[in-house]
Amino acid sequence: MARKKTPNIDFIVGMAEDFVNGGDHIGFKLDFTYYFIQKYDKMCKEDAMFADMINYYLFEKAFDIHKDDSEEKLRKVMKEALDELYSPDI
């Protein structure tokens, strides 16, 4: 069975993963909100439930609250948000 194509979801989650793994702090802070808004409707068409989870864990619970924190704090919070997003307990 072919995997469902989710390029917009993959892009947003990939941005968060790249940042957590040492990616550019300033670029991430400037671009994440823009791309999230631009791709959200398309993410919902790809997988509405997962898009909602991404919105809650990565954007609302992590980035939006902590975007003005230090680079280290934001990386830590985003890593925790990714771990929660992928948690099998959800």
In this prediction, residues 27-55 reach a mean pLDDT of: 96
In this prediction, residues 58-78 reach a mean pLDDT of: 97
Helix axes 25-46, 71-85, angle to 10 degrees: 20
Is the pLDDT at 1 greater than 50, yes or no?
no
Provide the token pair at 35. Answer: 């791309």
- The CA dihedral of 11, 13, 15, 21, to the nearest 10 degrees, is -140
In this prediction, residues 62-67 reach a mean pLDDT of: 96
Single pTM value for the model: 0.90
